Amino acid sequence: MLYILWGQDDYSLTEALGEIKKSIADQELLAANTTVLEGQQITLDQLRMVAGTLPFLAEKRLVVIRGLLERFEPKSKSGKQKKAADLAKQQGEYQSLAACIREIPESTVLVLIDNNVTGNNPLLKELEDKARVRSFPLLKGVSLRQWIQKRAAKENGSISPQAVELLAKLVGGNLWTMASEINKLVSFTAGRRIEEEDVNLLVSSAQQASIFSLVDAILDFKVGVAEQLLGWLLHRGATSAYLLVVLSRQVEMLVRAKELASQRRPRIEIQSRLGLASEFVLHKILEQAERFSLERLKEVYGKLLEADLSIKTGKYDGELALNMLVAELCQH
């Protein structure tokens, strides 16, 4: 059996993987019959060996491969010459891998998990007729608001429309953070309906999510989004000095994570070296680091340090310096 789970809503994707695990018999032996691999490095021989291995004292074994589709995601137009030179080789690779995957035995449940994939992905096209494919785009608008209401009900709580709107605005489509916020709100309200005031009181995690989003917007040259997020953070009481510290720390961590990932360090080692206690924060850091070049990250980090110096020396007011910095960094 082949499953393909892809999309940027990692929370729902992880839930779907959990459902697949529950559908496999012999739950007590599942851990001993589960293999997780990184798709960027896996070879055809490794795939053939792992996918063809018989389960241990069970009917099924589970193989999870992360990032295999992304490995063959069409590149941007800017490397056209290199793309043309490598096209034949890459085509041979994904066709060979697809042929191998099509021949997996019935005893193997293979799950391909990817975040940044498009409908034009060649390996996805090769396999979609054989696989159970599910996509998980980030929720927004009505879908996100409905999810918030359902999640609150699932946790035996209720939430007002105004509180739903505010949560959607503050947290957005990051369902890991959203689920955590709703759990805290349900516990805090202890049986009564969650109101807008409750959301405002428990905003710390939402503020952290907004800082992640602010870094994303800056790195993506999205000046409008970045300015809006910066304004909201300042309005919520975050000082310019605090924001510079956390932004600098965040981008520094992205640089370190990218360098460690390029050395193919295990995730647990990267988490330890970065001093991260949360698996979610590690996932978010690695996701951001993968999306941007080292040159871009170092450029932004250097500008943040310059802004910090200009504030400390009295050259600019803190809020003005931050607004100027965002405008400068978001210019192509």
Q: How many Cβ atoms sit within 10 Å of the Cβ of residue 148?
A: 24
Residues 128-168: tens digit of each pLDDT: 888 899 999 888 889 999 999 999 999 999 999 999 988 88
Contacts 24+ apart (CB under 8 A), 24-28: 24/60, 24/62, 24/109, 25/58, 25/59, 25/60, 26/55, 26/57, 26/58, 26/59, 26/60
| Measured distance CA(55)–CA(107) in Å, rounded | 7
Q: Which tokens is 57 given?
A: 């004292």
User: What pLDDT was estimated at residue 79?
Assistant: 44
List, in order, residues 6 or more apart from 108 with CB less than 8 Å away.
1, 51, 52, 53, 55, 60, 61, 62, 63
What's the rounded mean pLDDT across residues 174-193?
Answer: 88
Q: What is the enclosing helix (H) or strand (E) of 111?
A: strand 108-114
Domains parsed from the chain with CATH numbers: 2-135 (3.40.50.300), 141-202 (1.10.8.60), 207-329 (1.20.272.10)
Query: What is the reported pTM?
Result: 0.58
User: What pLDDT was estimated at residue 278?
Assistant: 65
Residues 55-93: tens digit of each pLDDT: 888 888 899 999 899 888 876 544 444 555 566 667 778
Per-residue pLDDT band for 204 (boundaries 50, 70, 90) equals low
Q: Is the pLDDT of residue 26 over 60?
A: yes
Q: Kindly tell me the sign of the dihedral angle through the C-alpha atoms of 308, 310, 312, 317.
A: negative
Q: Rounded mean pLDDT of the chain?
A: 84
User: What pLDDT was estimated at residue 80?
Assistant: 47
What's the rounded mean pLDDT across residues 272-288?
Answer: 79
Residues 239-260: tens digit of each pLDDT: 777 788 878 888 888 999 999 9
